[in-house]
């Protein structure tokens, strides 16, 4: 488990390359310590202009910000709006006596309260798809104190 993830109580899954399930898509949350901007994302990845991966991660970030299957969560209000919109989960549901307390949602709320901002993305596994390439790129991100990736939340 990466130091960044452990510090915030996030339990990590083992991530394997290639197809690991029968699902036709994977969901991701990328949590960034600080402002969720293209510049902040690239800084957290320690990518500088001219780096071989720089433009690819710029494209990934811009795609995830525009996808209709994703959401940006910069504060508690946006976090709970996303839970309600996509899952019908309320604030009460993730309290200690709530139905979803034993999920990752309380841990993600702690990240929001600690100053992280995050985006979610649902990416397809269709062969030769851009989304499949972006999913592989997200899986390659190493957790640090500045960026945390959660897959299949």
Separation of alpha carbons 68 and 132, rounded Å: 16
Pairing outcome for strands 25-33 and 116-124: antiparallel
52-110, pLDDT tens digit by residue?
Answer: 999 999 999 998 888 766 788 999 999 999 888 878 888 888 888 888 777 888 888 99
Structure tokens at 146: 């500045």
In this prediction, residues 33-47 reach a mean pLDDT of: 92
- The answer to whether residues 15 and 113 touch, using CB atoms and an 8 Å cutoff, is no
Structure tokens at 81: 């709006």
Separation of alpha carbons 120 and 98, rounded Å: 23
Structure tokens at 44: 């957290």
């Amino acid at each position: 488990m990466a130091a960044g993830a452990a510090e915030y109580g996030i339990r990590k899954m083992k991530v394997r390359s290639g197809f690991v399930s029968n699902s036709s898509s994977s969901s991701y949350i990328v949590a960034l310590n600080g402002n969720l901007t293209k510049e902040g994302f690239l800084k957290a990845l320690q990518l500088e202009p001219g780096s071989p991966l720089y433009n690819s991660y710029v494209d990934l970030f811009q795609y995830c910000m525009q996808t209709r299957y994703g959401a940006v969560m910069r504060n508690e209000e946006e976090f709970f709006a996303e839970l309600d919109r996509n899952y019908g989960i309320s604030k009460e549901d993730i309290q200690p006596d709530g139905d979803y307390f034993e999920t990752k949602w309380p841990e993600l709320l702690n990240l929001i309260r600690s100053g992280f901002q995050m985006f979610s993305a649902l990416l397809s596994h269709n062969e030769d798809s851009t989304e499949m390439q972006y999913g592989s790129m997200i899986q390659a991100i190493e957790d640090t104190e500045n960026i945390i990736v959660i897959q299949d939340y």
